[in-house]
Amino acid sequence: MTRVGTLRARLREYDDRFTRRLATLARAYGASATRYAFAFVFLTFGVQKFLVPGPSPVDEPIMAVADASQVTTVVPVALTPAFVGIYEVILGLCFLRNRLGVATVLFVPHHLVTFLTLAVVPSLAFAPPIPFAYDTFGAFVLKNVVFVGAFLLLLAHHGHASASRMSDSSEATCE
């Protein structure tokens, strides 16, 4: 084997070992880290909407979607950002307390409405004249695709961990 071939083989071996170690750490701590990251994001975004003086950067889109989708019959347009802020704080607390069932009930509609913004108020998300050229708000909304993916992985891990705990406890009672 040539020196280059040996070097490549060693690099592959180190990469495989490093990747296995990272995967072990991710299995041990990834779900908790993801849950705490969600808690941090939702708590800080939520608190900003009703405690920080002045308008939130997303007040305009929130009010535009509320107005366009007739949500104003439930919450007045002017109070919609504060309502969304409280909603996000509750969602953040669900992640913090590991209440993923309640978090799911809140997370799904939150993200459906978030993506609805692209259809209801496209002028806030797209930079004309180029189709699908996003401005800052559009990018802000689209990053939620990553949130949805991370949330699905978190649920899968949680379901797997719950199933493992249930099978462990059933084995203990069967002995």
Cα distance between residue 4 and residue 23, in whole Å: 28
Q: Number of structural domains, the chain?
A: 1
- Residue 81: give the domain boundaries: 32-174
- Asked if residue 76 belongs to a domain, the reply is yes
The rounded average pLDDT for each run of 10 residues, N- to C-terminus, in the chain (175 residues) is 79 91 91 95 92 79 75 71 92 96 94 86 79 80 92 85 48 37
3-state secondary structure of 126: strand
Is residue 98 situated within a structural domain? yes
Measured CA to CA in angstroms, residue 79 lies from 27, 66, 109, 130 at distances of: 41, 10, 19, 34
Give the closest residue to 58 by CA, choosing from 139, 4, 2.
Answer: 139
Asked if residue 3 belongs to a domain, the reply is no
Q: What are phi and psi of 134, to 5 degrees?
A: -90, 145
Distance between CA 61 and CA 79 in Å, rounded? Answer: 13
Kind and range of the H or E element at 95? Answer: helix 80-96
What does the block give as tokens for 68?
Answer: 């366009």
pLDDT at 34: 95
Is there a domain that residue 71 lies in?
A: yes
Burial of 46 (0-12, 13-18, 19+ CB in 10 A): buried
Please state whether the peptide bond connecting residue 109 to the residue before it is cis, i.e. omega within 30 degrees of 0: no
Q: How far apart are the C-alpha atoms of 88 and 90, rounded to whole Å?
A: 5
pLDDT tens by residue, 60-92? 787 777 777 666 567 777 788 888 899 999 999
Residue 9 in any domain: the answer is no
Q: Exposed e or buried b for every residue in 27-42, given b needs 16+ CB within 10 A?
A: eeebbeebbeebbeeb
State the pLDDT at residue 40. Answer: 97
